[in-house]
Structure 1
Amino acid sequence: MSFSHVTVLLDETVDGALSDPDGVYVDGTFGRGGHARALLAKLGPKGRLIAFDKDPEAVAAATTGDTAITDPRFSIRHASFARMAEVLRAEGCLPLAGVLLDLGVSSPQIDNPERGFSFRFDGPLDMRMDTTRGESAADFLARADERLLTQVIRDYGEERFAFQIAKAVVARREAGRTPRTTAELSELVAGVVKTREAGQNPATRTFQALRIFVNAELEELEQGLSAALELLGTGGHLAVISFHSLEDRIVKTFIARESKAEVDRRAPFAPPVKPLRLAALGRIKPSEGEIRANPRSRSAVLRVAERLE
């Protein structure tokens, strides 16, 4: 089956990431290649774009069939962007002129019931972005104790009914009916969460929490941001799109921290202990027109920063 994807903040992100048309760039979240194709169109003949994606379906879309990118300046790796330093050092293609990250789950992942990301379709409760490795959400629910379940749902989903949901999961498991499908989990959560924001499914926060945990999204984001800063050359750009507060808080804090120099207060005229390494270039939200055309873009936040000396 074919699942479409509408790229969010396309021009704003590509323009934000671009610094030198003949430089080397990383698209750490290829997805279906919307940003990658637009960036390639703006690169010069010496430019190069290296993409990463954990999802084997995304890699297949980039390399096979009608959607394959045949541009010799492009290549893709089946790996998390958190590993970009390890991969790129081995290939000797540094420093980078720009790094682009479009975080979260893509429309093809959400809309495919077999991937288990959405409560809107019944399917196996998988939620892994890389289906070749790791523990599925169903397997996690089958082994986690009440305390760990509560912690994950509370911390990654910001769900105030986390304890009650965890308790219901454990009770269902002890009865021999551990949730194995998206419909089963959605039904369980709906039976516990009696109040929710208008228009929001009761299972929204629980599904988000499990997806983030199963894919170690926040840990990989922190690793990827650190790697990007390390690999960017002077004047290189970092452009990151976040879709929820947990991601955006990490990106915002990272840029703010690296945009400040640390000095030794005992020697105020000495060189900084930690020099200023980034300059924040802006924060951009989708326009009203983009939100009308693509409602999934409404929570997106783009942050752009430049690598200094």
Structure 2
Amino acid sequence: MAALDNLSSANTVTPDELSFNHDAVLLSEAVAAVLGVKSLPEDSLQATGIYVDATFGRGGHSRLLLSQLADDARLIVFDKDPTAISVAQALASEDSRVTVIHDSFASLTTSLAALGISQVDGLMADLGVSSPQIDDGSRGFSFMRDGAVDMRMDTSRGQPVSAWLADVDDETLANVLFEFGEERHSRRIARAIKEMDSYTSTLALAETIKVAHPNWQRGKHPATQSFQAMRIFINNELGDVDSFLQQSIAVVKAGGQLAVISFHSLEDRRIKQFLQRHSKGQYPEDEQLPIRPDRPRYFSKPRRVGPSKAEVAANPRSRSAWLRAATRTDTVANPTEDKQ
């Protein structure tokens, strides 16, 4: 954990990197959800308490949330991306209510504990890769712009995809493409990738996948699912999501709010199942217990919100987004009376 982390000179952010635009998806809906209201009023709510934006990005959600908070409220923001952290630190220098943590939201509990915080009033996250990360070809997320095959959210640590591809075997690569990209032609694509001479160009990698892919879906680049898979794997995105969700049970206080935006089925399925399970007092289906005791109900019945037609028209990348939100409840010892 690195609270108020100062970026090293090796990860200095250039002005060009800060210039990429990012339209926060489901902006007012997510902020309203984390504040526990149906919609935001014209005037500030002046809400008090402690709130967490677990994926700061370029700060769209954080800035709107700050406009609704009282002067004595606090906002803790997390991000793994050095560029996002630079933007967050600039915001923190202007607004004393903001504290910046350069780390994954998987460190939620320990990072907050280091600040003397055990519980918060609201917790939100906007999962996946952001528009600036995609649009900046040098980050390696894009198959439309050339750059190094990196794909790390945090370029200050970990292994880039290029190094992993050089060492991984065909079978493991195919399994990653299938599990994290739901790519049906994973074995054929994996073999083609491993036949490449080098992994220095995202466009070359995308072209290799395109040639190897036997069945393209109209309107969708054939490298989409493979790039998604490698990105999710190298950043341990699903593992971090699972850890984050589990920690939210203890971190969000009774009456507080959890709001999470996802963009693909692998993430959304996890959030949906987590909230359903903990709103109904259920154990996971794969937990084979001879006696299944009642389990506490930690969240209210979850709510799901999608983007409006107007938002999709203005920002096509929002079309696959879903916001799922729920209220942290007082622990119920015997939830079996609810048969929903």
For residue 259 of structure 1, give the secondary structure of its aligned residue in structure 2: helix
2: distance between equivalents of 1:108 and 1:62? 15
1:15 aligns with 2:32: yes
Match of 2:72 in 1: 46
1: distance between equivalents of 2:21 and 2:82? 16
| Percent of paired sites with the same residue | 45
Contact kept, 8 Å, 1:125 with 1:137, in 2: the verdict is yes
2: distance between equivalents of 1:171 and 1:7? 39
Contact kept, 8 Å, 2:276 with 2:302, in 1: the verdict is no
Corresponding residue pairs, total: 299
1: distance between equivalents of 2:290 and 2:177? 44
1: distance between equivalents of 2:281 and 2:309? 37
2: distance between equivalents of 1:82 and 1:95? 15
C-alpha displacement of 1:136: 0.6
2: distance between equivalents of 1:225 and 1:280? 16
For residue 76 of structure 1, give the secondary structure of its aligned residue in structure 2: strand
1:90 aligns with 2:107: no
For residue 158 of structure 1, the aligned residue among 163, 168, 182 is 182
1: distance between equivalents of 2:199 and 2:302? 45
2: distance between equivalents of 1:262 and 1:39? 33
- Structure 1 unmatched runs, 5+: none
Single out whichever of 85-94 and 236-245 deviates more from structure 2: 85-94
For residue 153 of structure 1, give the secondary structure of its aligned residue in structure 2: helix
Contact kept, 8 Å, 1:169 with 1:178, in 2: the verdict is no
> CA offsets per residue over residues 3-31 of structure 1, 9 Å max, x none?
11001000000000114921111100000
For residue 289 of structure 1, the aligned residue among 289, 303, 310 is 310
> CA offsets per residue over residues 237-280 of structure 1, 9 Å max, x none?
000000000000000010011112259x9999xxx642111113
2: distance between equivalents of 1:188 and 1:281? 42
- Tell me the TM-score normalized by structure 2: 0.85
2: distance between equivalents of 1:184 and 1:273? 54
Single out whichever of 193-202 and 77-86 deviates more from structure 2: 193-202
For residue 186 of structure 1, give the secondary structure of its aligned residue in structure 2: helix
Q: Which amino acid aligns with 2:82?
A: P
- Tell me the TM-score normalized by structure 1: 0.93
Cα RMSD between the aligned structures?
1.8
C-alpha displacement of 1:186: 0.5
For residue 256 of structure 2, give the secondary structure of its aligned residue in structure 1: strand
- Structure 2 unmatched runs, 5+: 1-15, 37-45, 284-288, 331-340
For residue 260 of structure 1, the aligned residue among 280, 290, 295 is 280
1: distance between equivalents of 2:121 and 2:215? 48
Contact kept, 8 Å, 1:261 with 1:276, in 2: the verdict is yes
Match of 2:12 in 1: none
Q: Which amino acid aligns with 2:24?
A: T
Contact kept, 8 Å, 1:110 with 1:118, in 2: the verdict is yes
Single out whichever of 86-95 and 26-35 deviates more from structure 2: 86-95
2: distance between equivalents of 1:267 and 1:249? 26
Match of 2:103 in 1: 79
C-alpha displacement of 1:68: 6.0
For residue 261 of structure 2, the aligned residue among 229, 232, 241 is 241
Contact kept, 8 Å, 2:92 with 2:98, in 1: the verdict is no
Contact kept, 8 Å, 2:92 with 2:100, in 1: the verdict is no
